[in-house]
Structure 1
Amino acid sequence: MANKRGRDLFYRAKPLLNGVSACLRLVPRPAALWLWAISDWLPELLGVAFRYCLLKRLARQCGDNVRVGRGVELKYPERLSVGTNVSIHKQCYLDAYGELDIGDEVSIAHQSSLVSFQHTWSDSSCPIRDNPLICGKIQIRRDVWIGCGVRIMAGVEIGSRSIIAAGAVVTRNVPSGVIAAGVPARTLRVIEAQASDRRPKQNGG
């Protein structure tokens, strides 16, 4: 539903989707998570519509026209916020334990992972997996394109109108208006001059 045709279809169906979402608020959270898992069995368009309604029930915030593909796994969705006109493609993994905010007009390609916590390892008396976790909010600003197989780690902010190339591992903040790629990800080029750079220069300045 992310393209123009999908948006038109969404807004025509919005009253019905809102009605289903309202009914799902009566469903206990564990049952809603179970419904999320089995929604992959539904036909494509029906599954997209039902996952949208479930996301409205499960997430802290969910905007309009959000398309979620099959096999997307949600962890701690009550700490997840999703904007409007967002597409999350199949087999992505979203762990919002440390909070995860996805802005408007964001596209996340298939098999990407966003993990908002990291393990510590300082306590040698227990396995690393049992050491305390450190939370770190992930913030994805407006109009970001995340390529397939990207890994975004805890505490990262991705600035607006940026592109994260396929296969990148993002361990630090990415500024607005750039292409970032690599392991770890780094800025390759600027794709858009910032507003301050586009202002006409004054005489003598």
Structure 2
Amino acid sequence: MNTDAPSSKLKNVMQGKGGAAAKYFALTYGEMPLWKAVLMEITVILFSGASGSWGLFLRSILYRPFFGKFGKGVVIGKNVVFRHPGKIKLGDGVTVDDNAMVDAKGSVNKGVSLGAGVYIGRNSIVYCKEGNIELEEGVNISSNCVVFSSNDLKIGAETMIGAYTYILSGGEYDHQSPLPFARQTGMETRGPLSIGADCWLGARVTVLDGANIGNRCVLGAGTVVTKPIPELSLAVGVPAKVVGSVLPAEKNEEAEAAQV
């Protein structure tokens, strides 16, 4: 195992040389120029906890210069944490609810991209360890979810993710290695993870590394996905088992038209 991987270096930031402030700024702001990081730090201290519509308005204006992209109509709730914001792209109409975290940390990755109209629920965490995350237009992440990537993770447009769901792309450890797990990089991966468009994942679903999900699938509450699921599937259980099918979107439109 390569212990010199970029993620290992990031992990060692907090254990390496330098003062507490230098370590904090490296962890939180990455390669952002120091003057800009200090300015954002002051902005966050003053306005991240501001309540009501006034707080939402101030954050939508004052946070804008610090991001890789900050679209129109972005809504940032109270006490939201952003790490490596220069590698975070927020499309038009993105909403990040109270106490959520979006973390794009890495030294060579592209970071996190949230398409137009994406919603990140309260207390949810979307974070990278040298990986990339792309949430396409209209993706809805409910409260208390964890979305992690040390590879490439993509969730297709208009997909709904139920509360307390855990989605993992990479982040595995080598149980055959003599190196203690806490000292490993956690970069073992089965490859990129893709969840298709127009899917519905119920509450407390777990999607493990490499378990790709096709378009327009439905996963019942508590399902644990360990292997790929084909499109238009209804799956439940631990591990997930396909028990039925889902109508294609165009068939639903035809059925609705017939009832009119």
TM-score by length of 1: 0.67
> What is the letter of the counterpart of residue 89 of structure 1?
S
- Structure 1 177/50 Cα, relative in aligned 2: closer, same or farther at 3 Å? closer
Change (3 A) 1:165 1:20: farther
RMSD across aligned positions (CA) = 3.5
Maintained 8 Å contact 1:119/1:134 = yes
Match of 2:230 among 152, 157, 175: 175
> Are 2:163 and 1:110 aligned?
yes
1:160 corresponds to 2:215: yes
Distance 2:234 2:241 in 1: 8
Q: Note the alpha carbon deviations across 1:72-131, whole angstroms, 9 max, x for none.
A: 1122186110101111011101111122101101000100001112222112x3334444
Q: 2:79 aligns with which of 35, 38, 58?
A: 38
Instruction: Name the TM-score, length of structure 2 as normaliser.
Output: 0.54
Determine if contact 1:81/1:100 at 8 Å carries over to the other structure.
yes
**In structure 2, distance between residues paired with 1:171 and 1:70:** 27
Specify which of 60, 65, 68 is matched with residue 23 of structure 1.
65
- Gap change, CA 1:194 and 1:74, over 3 Å in 2: closer
Check the 8 A contact 1:21/1:56 in 2, yes or no: no
Match of 1:83 among 133, 136, 139: 136
CA 1:148/1:83 → structure 2, altered by over 3 Å: closer, same or farther? same
In the alignment, which residue of structure 1 is the partner of 2:28?
A: none
Match of residue 49 from structure 1: 95
Whether the 8 Å CA contact 2:234–2:246 is kept in 1: the answer is: yes
Which residue of structure 2 aligns with residue 64 of structure 1?
116
- Give the one of 119, 122, 134 matched to 2:188: 134
Residues 142-196 of structure 1: per-residue CA shift (max 9 Å, x gap)? 100011001100112110010011101101100010111111101011123699x
Give the gaps of 5 or more residues in structure 2: 1-57, 70-75, 82-93, 105-110, 251-260
List per-residue Cα deviations over 1:4-34 (Å, max 9, x = no partner). Answer: xxxxxxxxxxxx998667423279xxxxxxx
Q: Deviations over 1:27-59 (max 9, x none)?
A: 9xxxxxxx989228xxxxxxx7355xx999955
Residues 18/166 of structure 1: CA separation in 2 closer, same or farther (3 Å cut): same
Match of 1:134, SS?
A: coil
Q: Which residue of structure 1 lines up, in the alignment, with residue 126 of structure 2? A: 74
Q: Structure 1 segments of 4 or more deviating over 6 A?
A: 16-21, 54-57
Q: What is the aligned residue count?
A: 164
Q: Which runs of 5+ in 1 are unaligned?
A: 1-15, 28-34, 41-47, 196-205
C-alpha distance in 1, partners of 2:146/2:205?
A: 10
75-84 or 136-145: bigger deviation: 75-84
Q: 1:26 to 1:192 in 2, by over 3 A?
A: closer
Query: Larger relative CO (CA 8 A, sep 6+): 1 or 2?
Result: 1
Relative distance call for 1:56 and 1:96 in structure 2 (3 A) is: closer
The corresponding residue for 1:11 is none
Instruction: Tell me which of 158, 173, 189 is aligned to 1:119.
Output: 173
Distance in 2 separating the partners of 1:98 and 1:128:
19
